[in-house]
Amino acid sequence: MVKKVIVVLCLLALISCETNIDFRENVASFLIPKPLELTQTEGFTSISINTKIVTTQDFIDEANYLQKLIHESSNFSVDIIVTNEIPITENAILLVNNSKLAANLNSEESYKLTISKSKIEIEGSTTTGIMRGIQTLRQLFVDEFHKNIKRNEWQLPLITVKDSPKFRHRGMLFDSGRHFFEVDVVKKYIDLLALYKMNVFHWHLTEDQGWRIAIEKYPKLTEIGAFRKQKDSSIYGGFYTKKQVQEIVAYATERHITVIPEIELPGHSLAALAAYPELSCTGNTVEVTNEWGIFKDIYCAGNEQTFIFLEDVLTEVMELFPSEYIHIGGDEAPKLRWEACAKCQKRIKDEKLANEHELQSYFIQRIEKFLHKNNRKLIGWDEILEGGLSPTATVQSWRGVKGGIVAANNNQFAIMSPTTHCYFDYGIGTTDLEKVYNFNPIPAELAPEKHQYIIGSECNLWSERIPDEENLDSKVFPRIFAMSEVLWSYPKEKYFNEFYARVQNQYGLLEAKNVKYGLEFVPVSLKSTLNDDKVQIEVVTKHESFKTNYRWNCEDCDTIFREAPAIIALNKSGVLEIETFKNGKKYGDNLLQGYQLHKAINSEIKQENLYNDVYKASGEKGLVDGEIGSKKIRDGNWQGFLGVDIDCVIDLGKEKEVTEIGANFLHKQLSWILIPRNITIQTSVDGLTWKDWGTVESKVDPKNKEVILETLSKIKSVEKIRYVKLFAENLDQLPEWHDFYKGKSWIFIDEIFVN
């Protein structure tokens, strides 16, 4: 008898748990992107075995998707009722055609979601609108639903949402060329894009480092071009079969995501040339590269076989991808081979072209004509503007927004993907969550009547530094939340703190989906105050929830972590290390910042040539602030000089005894950064009469492909000086051996020190 009572009590407890399921009580704090209109009333409705999906035949695919979605997380399956006219039905999910929505809200993706106690109604004038409404419904479920935890009932809040997107092109570039990702990972990202109302999956399938799509007519593209030998001699690679591509496209189509393939030309084509070297200007055998950068070997524009090959490839690509657009790249194509190629020079002469830039334009426009014959349109990176833009191409502007402005002013469509806000392969130190949130795809200088030509934006995810799924997740999330909000909601007034609170409420869902999300921003920054030859550091936290500890590593220093005070005073050179905690949990890697204390700290500095605005360190006094750069070019400590010399004068303020003068430089030739061959140093006591302090030669081989830090300095016996002049000559253009020959070279310098 006792056992029976216990069993009954346990059953009652289980029933109690099932009938007391939690639901989103404050929907406005959970949805991303933010809806156009949202109202919520008290109470909830339930989805259970008694629920039906009622739809017309028009929305049967969306009904099937929703049915499967619910079944995956339930102990029941909802039935679908197909009818010519939607009846007023209780305990049902209604998919309703409302032809007025698209007109009223100015988009075919518009929808209205109404959840009452008796039913759930999703209205749309198109299948896409219905799917966007389903994705909002999907976000309303509690996290356990997304973990596919089986329940007998799910509860949803009572709300009305009326919604519509600002931009019609809301995408993510997914680079499978540099690193290969399995089909399941590709599908995972397509599904996540749908969940957050992005609608374009821009699939980068060919690169210098790998050809990733099977082409029947050219089997060597995957036999040879899909694999590369790594530096440790291991073989890396992979490709997608036609069947896999069809599977992925179908998966995206089900979620109303457009897959736009990118087949790079004429540059970024080493993998194809490794398979078919006769398509290059030289015909020489090349290998699929394991380096990152820009390479001189590209498709030969004077060889007719090149165009036959590309048309054959694109024909097979178009059979697999039904998208209106085909992306052809068109970026970073050095012209060195074309300049020396008799076939290319003959093409320039025969077509009456002015130069190699117009030859590239000829190349792009010829491919575009072929696409037009097949009822497709072309997208290319903003380099396709060089040499003359074809009249119907869409420009994807990545080198800032200028390319998009030129296209829009020419009444042509543009997609904005500037490196400043949209490159998610960049670290959060360069592009954090708040910066993406504040992105405006429409440039301020563009006239209002031209705004219609900016069709949207993409977050670009180049995979040089993304070798696996975990790295991929941490680069994309949570920043894509901000991009989703910018492109769908685009609020006129932005409130980052409110958005940030909604981001926090998404992490449970991401964890349920096994997304290894990354940081929102660099948790702390260091604000330096310079006082003569001393540095005072203020540790500034990015958010009030962050707490910090620090330790100072230098000679004879105590290296135990302690709670960071308001000001950390430094009187020696060393490394400051900061650890951060968010809500009691470790947040990101420790921040390490080196400091070099010297006699020129905070001195006045005059520069003949100004540093590039992208690499400006701390600004005007960035070369005498005591902060030392690392091997990361975007760590915020480097001043970069593009194509110009470093020519500066430092005023120490008064005469000081000096024995050493020097500077720190960075070498990364694959990024076009070369240490100057030498630096020349002069000194003065009055700023008028100058004495040679010395010339210091660099010991770094400019061809070295490693990232190298080098200090160039000259030590002499003690002299009293007040002024220091330092000169470093830039090569102006990269040397002939460089793959980007004739391109401008950089000098990266991070501190000029005086000891």
Q: What is the pLDDT of residues 311-368, one digit of tens each?
A: 999 999 999 999 999 999 999 999 999 999 999 999 999 999 999 999 999 999 999 9
Helix crossing, 304-320 with 242-254: angle to 10°?
Answer: 50
In the numeric block, which tokens belong to residue 606? 């005059």
How far is Cα 68 from Cα 735, in angstroms, rounded to an integer?
59
**Residue 518 forms part of a structural domain:** no
Lowest mean pLDDT among 188-202, 363-377, 522-536, 694-708: 522-536
Task: Give yes or no for a contact between 421 and 409, defined as CB atoms under 8 angstroms apart.
Answer: no
What is the CB-side half-sphere exposure of residue 68 using CA atoms within 13 A? 8
Count of other CB atoms within 10 angstroms of residue 229: 14
Element (H, E) at 595: strand 591-595
Provide the 8-state DSSP code for 611: P
DSSP of 405-471: HHHHHTT--EEE--HHHHBTTS-TTTS-HHHHHT--SS-TTS-GGGGGGEEEEEEEE--TT--SHHH
Task: Write down which residue in 137, 163, 189 finishes a domain.
Answer: 163
Same domain, 327 and 465: yes
Helices (H), 321-417: 336-340, 342-350, 356-373, 402-409
Give the 3-state secondary structure of residue 102: helix
Phi–psi pair at 484, nearest 5 degrees:
-60, -45
Look at residues 356, 355, 378 and name the one whose alpha carbon lies nearest to residue 366.
378
With cut-offs at 50, 70 and 90, classify the pLDDT of residue 9.
Answer: very low
Task: Please name the helix (run of DSSP H) or strand (run of DSSP E) that holds residue 146, with its range, or none.
Answer: helix 143-146
Mean pLDDT along residues 603-625: 92
* 8 pLDDT above the threshold of 50: no
- In the chain the first and final C-alpha atoms are separated, in Å, by 91
Contact 276, 222 (CB under 8 A): no
The answer as to whether 11 is a domain residue is no
> Do 473 and 563 belong to one domain?
no
Instruction: Tell me which residue of 747, 755, 671 sits closest to 710, measured CA to CA.
Output: 747
Domain contains 13: no
Helix or strand run (H / E) with residue 143:
helix 143-146
> What 3-state class would DSSP assign to 643?
coil
Q: Are residues 567 and 704 in the same domain?
A: no
Which amino acid, 374?
N
β 169-175/200-204 pair status:
parallel
**Residue 19: inside a domain, yes or no?**
no
Residues 584 and 646 reside in one and the same domain: no
Question: Considering the domain boundaries, does residue 10 fall inside one?
Answer: no
Beta bridge partners of 711: 664
Place of tokens 């040539």: 609
Return mean pLDDT, the chain.
Answer: 92
* Cα distance between residue 462 and residue 466, in whole Å: 8
Q: Is the pLDDT of residue 7 over 50?
A: no
Among 100-109, 420-429, 509-518, the range scoring the smallest mean pLDDT is: 100-109
The strand pairing partners of 551, in sequence order, are 577
Last residue in a domain, options 112, 144, 163: 163
pLDDT for position 99: 87
Q: What does the pLDDT look like over 536-557, one tens digit per residue?
A: 888 999 888 899 999 888 766 7
* Mean pLDDT value across residues 519-539: 84
Same domain for 624 and 738? yes
Running DSSP on this structure, what letter comes out for residue 313? H
**All residues at 6 or more sequence positions from 647 whose CB lies less than 8 Å from its CB, including other chains:** 607, 608, 609, 726, 727, 728
CATH of the domain at 686: 2.60.120.260
Same domain, 318 and 282: yes
User: Range with the lowest mean pLDDT among 113-122, 167-176, 723-732?
Assistant: 723-732
Structure tokens at 454: 């900016």
Residue 5's pLDDT is: 41
Say whether both 247 and 213 belong to one domain. yes
With contact defined as beta carbons under 8 Å apart, do 240 and 213 qualify? yes
Angle at 174 (CA atoms; ends 168, 179), nearest 5 degrees: 175
Strand, helix or coil at 24? coil
193 vs 189: CA distance, rounded Å = 6
Q: Backbone dihedral region of 241: left (phi > 0), alpha (psi from -120 to 50 degrees) or beta?
A: beta
Token code pair at residue 585: 């949990």
Same domain, 244 and 371: yes
| DSSP for residue 375 | T
**At residue 24, does pLDDT exceed 60?**
yes
What span, in angstroms and rounded, lies between the C-alpha atoms of 625 and 631? 18
Residue pLDDT, tens place only, 669-690: 989 999 999 999 999 999 999 9
pLDDT band at 714 (very low <50, low <70, confident <90, very high): very high
Structural domain contains residue 6: no
> In this predicted structure, what is the pLDDT of residue 11?
41
Same domain membership, residue 563 and residue 432: no
The CATH number of the domain where 376 resides is what? Answer: 3.20.20.80
Q: What pLDDT, on the 0 to 100 scale, is given for residue 12?
A: 38
pLDDT, residue 18, reads: 44
Query: Could you identify the residue written with the tokens 């007034």?
Result: 493
CATH number at residue 578: 2.60.40
Rg (alpha carbons) of the chain, rounded to whole number: 30
Q: Residue 731 sits in which domain range?
A: 604-754
* pLDDT above 90 for 123: yes
Show Cβ contacts of residue 354 under 8 Å, excluding neighbours closer than 6 positions: 387
Examine residue 9 and state whether it is found in any structural domain, yes or no. no
Same domain, 617 and 564: no
State yes or no: pLDDT of 2 exceeds 70.
no
316 and 297 share a domain? yes
**Arithmetic mean of pLDDT, 19-31:** 81
Confidence of residue 21 (pLDDT cuts 50, 70, 90): low
Residue 263 has pLDDT above 80, yes or no: yes
* pLDDT digits 0-9 by tens, 274-299: 999 999 999 999 999 999 988 999 99
Helix (H, G, I), strand (E, B) or coil at 747: strand
| Domain closes at, from 512, 541, 566 | 512
- What is the DSSP-derived secondary structure letter of residue 203? E
Q: In terms of domains, do 616 and 496 share one?
A: no
Give residue 491's pLDDT: 75
Reported as a pLDDT band with limits 50, 70 and 90, residue 4 is: very low
CATH classification at residue 122: 3.30.379.10
Kindly indicate the confidence band of residue 567, based on its pLDDT and cuts at 50, 70 and 90: confident
Total tally of structural domains belonging to the chain: 4
Q: Is pLDDT at 10 greater than 70 in this prediction?
A: no
Q: Which of 387-391, 565-569, 702-706 has the lowest mean pLDDT?
A: 387-391
C-alpha closest to that of 301 among 349, 259, 239: 349
453 HSE (CA, 13 A, CB side): 24
Q: Which of 609, 604, 642, 644 is nearest to 623 (CA)?
A: 604
Is residue 12 in a domain? no
